[in-house]
Each structure stands twice: as C-alpha cells, then as structure tokens.
Chains A and B, each alone.
Chain A
Amino acid sequence: MSRIQEAFQNKKAFIAFLTAGDPDFDSSVAYFKAAARAGADLIEIGIPFSDPIAEGPVIQEANIRALSNGMTLERVFELVTELRKEIQLPLVFLTYLNPVFHYGPDRFFARCKETGVDGIIIPDMPFEEKGEINDVAKKYGVDIISLIAPTSEARIRDIAKEATGFIYVVSSLGVTGVRSEIKTDLASILASIRETTDLPAAIGFGISTPEQAEKMGRIADGVIVGSAMVRIIAQYGTEAEQPLYEYVKSMKEATARAEA
C-alpha cells in the first residue's frame, strides 16, 4: 500500500498545506515538522511560483516571501530531504507546470523519487494536458493528483477514471482562500466520484474552521487546509511554530470527529 493510501486508511485525513520556504528555509522545515507532529495525515508542499494564478492573496504572498528569501527548486528538494529524515507521512507537491517543465520533467520526477515525494498536484494542468508529464511521473512512481471543480459536471467521471493517489475536490469557484460559507453541492460531486473510483477524495479551498473541517470530513475522505495555515505564518513570521502546531491539532481533532 502506498503512503498516500495509508493516509486515508480507516480514518478521515487532515491534509496540511504550506508554501516551501515561507517565510525562510529553516522556519519552513520546522513548520512542516510541527504540522506532522500535530497530527496531519498528509503534507502538501507548495513550490513557490512567481505567478500562481489559482491562488488568492494569502498564498500569493507566501510565494513572494519564499521567493524573495531565496527559495529555488533545488532548495525545495533539499527541504524535502530534511523533512524525510523525520517524517514518514506522504508528501505531495503543489506546483504550477512551468517550473516542472523548465527543470525538465524527467529530471524533476527522478528527484521526486530520490527525495521521497509521493504525489503532485498541478492546478494549471487539466486532464487533457496530462500528457506533458503522465508517463514520466508513472516511471518514477509519483501519483498525479487530479482536481475536480464545482463546474466539472460530466468531466468528473473521465477525470476520476484515470486518477491516481487521491482526488482533490475544489469546494468553490475562484481561487484559494478562506471562505465563510461553501455553497457547492459537494455531496453529489462526491457521489459521482464514488460511482467511478475507489480512490479517496479530499475537499479543499475555503476551509479554515474546525466546524467546516468536521462538516467536510463527513462528506469526503479528507480535508485540505492551506490559506488558513499560511495566514498564521503571515501573522507570526518566524514565530509561527507553536500557533501552527495548535491549529493543526484542533483541525485534526475536528476532522477525526467526522469519523463518528
């Protein structure tokens, strides 16, 4: 069983996202480790990009903090290597396609395998353009995590049929960011997914409170939180380890309540 499958085994997974190198390399390593200690089941590592078109302002700024403190793709792999000394959890990249393409897909996925990256989420690579990296990702055993959106309609089955790892269900229209209310009919999206595949599905975009985590956990197999985590770094800078730990702990507990 893969590390990603294990993360969803007999439990609702809490998935924690942070941007690599935010606000600097050493703090970032400590923050990912704190999230793991606090009970995250899967860690999503954002590769900073100059123009993250699927992100709202909170994560856009995390990208800028990381890049302006010298984060590069090589340093991201170094960060993964650091984390792997301590963390056995699945690690999944979130990246835009250009950094992968520019680094060279073969070289990129070879490095993923070597450093211990289990999956990759690419928000600007829809199903139809998977050909860019599909074969090479498979060659190195890295799962491509597919996204399904509120507007996917009939595409849900096509995407789910070929999905690997887990399915990332986008809760709302628009970009990443904290939302007070999620209006999409997620239950029917989840039902379509489950008719097509046995892969676990996790909901992300807009989730920040324990109440939302519990509610989403009841619909899906996992809950993904990004902007609310990153916002803690924006507020506490290099002093964010403890507040992040406590936040992840409370969110993991809330997600676990959905198992009942």
Chain B
Amino acid sequence: MKGRYGEFGGQYIPETLMNEIHRLEEAYEFYKNDPEFNRELDTLLREYAGRPSLLYYAEKMTKDLGGAKIYLKREDLNHTGSHKINNVLGQVLLAKKMGKTRVIAETGAGQHGVATATGAALLGMECEIFMGEEDTIRQALNVYRMELLGAKVHPVKSGTRTLKDAVNEAMREWTNRVDDTLYVLGSVMGPHPFPMMVRDFQSVISKEAREQILEKEGKLPSAVIACVGGGSNSMGAFYNFINDKDVKLIGCEAAGRGIDTEQHAATIAKGEVGIFHGMKSLFCQDKDGQIAPVYSISAGLDYPGIGPEHAYLNEIGRAQYVPITDDEAVDAFEYIARTEGIICAIESAHAVAYAMKIAGTMSKDDIIIICLSGRGDKDVAAIARYRGVDLYE
C-alpha cells in the first residue's frame, strides 16, 4: 500500500494539509524521475556539499579494538558538517521547482536547521526554523549560525521544549501558511511522502559506501552501524544494503541515563505502536497514549518516535536496534577523538560506542562500516560540562 511499511507509515495529518501533501507527493514522483532535476541535485551534492564523502579506514581503532576492520563513512565532512545536507538540497530544490518561496523546518541539535538555512540561502528561499527552547540553550552556537545564514529561529516554549515540540510547532506553522511554503522535514518520519523522500535523498550514503567498500576490500561489510533518532542517517546508510542479507544493519538508539530509568529516548526498546506526527510507528508513550517526555544528552536523538520504515525493518528482523547510554556515547566521543583525531557529533558517537562493544568479538575478516553522521564542534561545550569542566560558548 502507498506510503506504508507493513502496518507503519500513513498520512495522519489535519485536513488543511491534505491537498498540499498530495501535491508534494505528485511533485516528488515527477521530479525523482526527471533527468534535469537529478542533474541539478547531483551537481549540488558534488560541487557544493562535497560528495562523495570519504570511506575512511580507521586503522588505529581497528588495531586497538583487535577484531573487525573498521571503516568510517565520513558524513561529518559534508558541507554544514552532517548528513542533513543530502536531504535538504533535495527538498529545497524540489520546493523551488514547485514554485515555493519559503521553507520551514524543525531542528533538534541544530544540524538540520543549519543545513536548511544553508540550502535556503543558496537557492534564495525565505527560511524559518523551529527549535525547542531547551535545545537553543544546549546548541546556542547553531542558533547563531542559522541566523548568520539568514534564517529566523523560533525558540519553541511548549511541552518539553525539545525536538518533538519543534516538530509540533513546524506542523502548526505549515497549516497556517501552505501556499508558498514547504515544510522541509529533517528525518525519515512524518506523513508520506516524507519517510520515503528523505530516505531516497539520504540513500546516497549507502550507495557510495557500498561501491567504496567493494572497491577497497572486494567484499561487503559484515555490519553497518548508525545512530537512530528519527532515523535519517541510519536509513540512508542501511538502504542499499537491505538486499544484501549477510550485512547486519544495526541502529543505535539513545538510552540516555539507561533504559531502566525514565530518562531515555529508546523508542524500539521501550516504545509501543502509536499514531503521531503524521505516521503510525513506534513511540515512547504512557499508559494513556500520551507521548512521553524523552531524554538524551544528544539533542538530535532526543525524539520519542522513529521513522516507520525502521519500525518495519525491526519488526521483520532485517535490522537490529540497540540502546547506547549517555556515558557510553561520551566515552566513545572521547575515544575516537584521541584514537583517530576525529571529533564526531555526540549523535554519531552512539554508533561508535556500539562498534567498540562488538569489534573485538569479531574476526579480522569482518568489516564494520560506521556512519559518522556529523562533526562534533557543536557538542564540545556540552561534553566539557558533562565532564564537570565549566565551559560555555
């Protein structure tokens, strides 16, 4: 069924948005097969975003962990510092083709907000970003960055004042002004066609990684590991490996202070089937179906749901999802900095943490690809505070 992944997916949005979401569907179905659109997008990805991103052999990590060979897919080296630009360039270009003059977006850590503000500046669109007030404090530098790029940033003061509330507010704003505006959703979530469209735009990650590993090693990896909030970098990293049955796909969820506490954002481990933010999927919720407040040190993973295709891959057992705590992620953040000289995003450090757990148990013939979804400049102050260093930006 259209827009469904098993029972998950769908279009659960207010009537006001329905015609617009159908127009978006039609536009995307047309342009994804349009040679001119694809040429323009490809040029932007190569000339502007810096693709293809490197697949880097992390030799020191490999030796230190003493097992599987570790490769890093360096999405942190993209322009704006994360994988988010892959999707944004696609959607903003599409918006432009649809005749829109304004884009809005939610952001958690600020990576998607910065990428959207960048795409809007480049393609000459008006841009407004919704960001939980709590996150504007955690990621103050990114707020200023978005403003430098010409975007207007709205701190969202409702609910838990984090990513979930930023999505609520962006959806509200979209119902308020649909004619000239596209809501550039940042993850593989929300109503159809967003989960499919964002996956398609992000699947360049696994398309490149698969070619690169075959060229370097002459074989496929044993595992691909990526962090999962809404799930866009992981969906992008998994997608072209889904049919390679021997490649394990592992998503790392934010376990915050532990999945046995109330303070986590581990949707697969602890969530239940629900309907929210336009989709049927898994959500952290209470016994009354109220969406639960979630927590993670990582603003980008601090979301109570997960994209519907992940819920499906989990259900059919094609992908596996594991919880990683704040402590484990911070340790990994520091470890990869010292070992490989790479300061990665705290989100991506969740994936690094799981690779550190399993690499040593695997054979030297095994290969792990970690999707290093973003760079960690934005997190340095927060990590310092986590370690008790009184550092503010």
Contact = CB atoms under 8 A, between A and B. Distances in A.
- On whether the two chains bind one another, the answer is yes
A125 B12 contact: yes
B385 to A, nearest CB: 29
A151 B285 CA distance: 32
A126 B15 contact: yes
A50 B10 contact: no
Interface string B257-278: 0000000000000001111111
B15 A127 contact: yes
Interface stretch (B16-24, B40-48, B78-86, B334-342): B16-24
Interface in B148-196: 158-159, 164-165, 168, 171-172, 175-178
B275 A98 contact: yes
B57 to A, nearest CB: 44
Interface in B231-278: 272-278
Given A72-B288, A98-B276, A129-B10, A152 B172 contact: no
A151 B19 contact: yes
B289 interface: yes
Nearest to B2: A128
Interface residues of A, number: 40
A132 B10 CA distance: 11
Contacts, number: 110
Interface SS majority for chain B: mixed
A173 B13 contact: no
Contact of A175 (B12, B18, B20, B176): B176
A19 interface: no
B288 A102 contact: yes
Nearest to A61: B158
Interface stretch (A29-37, A84-92, A142-150): A142-150
B289 A124 contact: no
Given A50-B159, A51-B168, A129-B10, A73 B18 contact: no
Contacts of A216: none
B213 to A, nearest CB: 41
Contacts of A128: 11, 18
A173 B176 contact: yes
A99 B289 contact: yes
Interface of B: 10-20, 158-159, 164-165, 168, 171-172, 175-178, 272-278, 283, 285, 288-291
23 contacts: A54-B175, A57-B158, A96-B276, A98-B276, A99-B288, A99-B289, A101-B289, A102-B272, A102-B274, A102-B289, A103-B288, A103-B289, A124-B13, A124-B275, A126-B11, A129-B12, A149-B14, A149-B16, A151-B17, A153-B19, A155-B15, A155-B18, A175-B175
